[in-house]
Amino acid sequence: MTGGQRLHNHADYIAALAARGQGPADYGPNLEAMGHGMPPHGGFAVGLERWNARLLEAGNVRYATLFPRDIHRIRP
């Protein structure tokens, strides 16, 4: 569970795109919707892989993941 907070402020989102070197034109419909206001939102979920790992009593969540990813493997 990360509890991560997503960007919901239009100006913050534009600044994040600029920092990544991306133009707002690629995100037109999303930015238009955000311009009308978005409520704060975040993530709080256990995830299917973690639930499976607990169910299987696996020592590592990667053993319960169909396509595990780590520093040496970023593709399935």
* Separation of alpha carbons 70 and 64, rounded Å: 14
Same domain? For 2 and 32 the reply is yes
Same domain? For 73 and 56 the reply is yes
Identity at 47, one-letter amino acid code? G
Same domain? For 32 and 3 the reply is yes
User: Domains in the chain: how many in total?
Assistant: 2
Q: Which domain holds residue 20?
A: 1-39
Same domain? For 25 and 55 the reply is no
* Separation of alpha carbons 1 and 41, rounded Å: 15
Same domain? For 3 and 35 the reply is yes
Same domain? For 25 and 59 the reply is no
Query: Each residue of 20-68: pLDDT tens digit?
Result: 898 888 888 888 888 888 777 766 667 888 889 999 999 988 888 887 7
Measured at the CA of 68, the angle between CA 2 and CA 66, to 5 degrees, comes to 105
What is the reported pTM? 0.47
Instruction: Please state, in angstroms and as integers, the Cα–Cα distance from residue 48 to each residue in 31, 35, 41, 54, 60, following that order.
Output: 31, 34, 21, 10, 14
Same domain? For 34 and 50 the reply is no
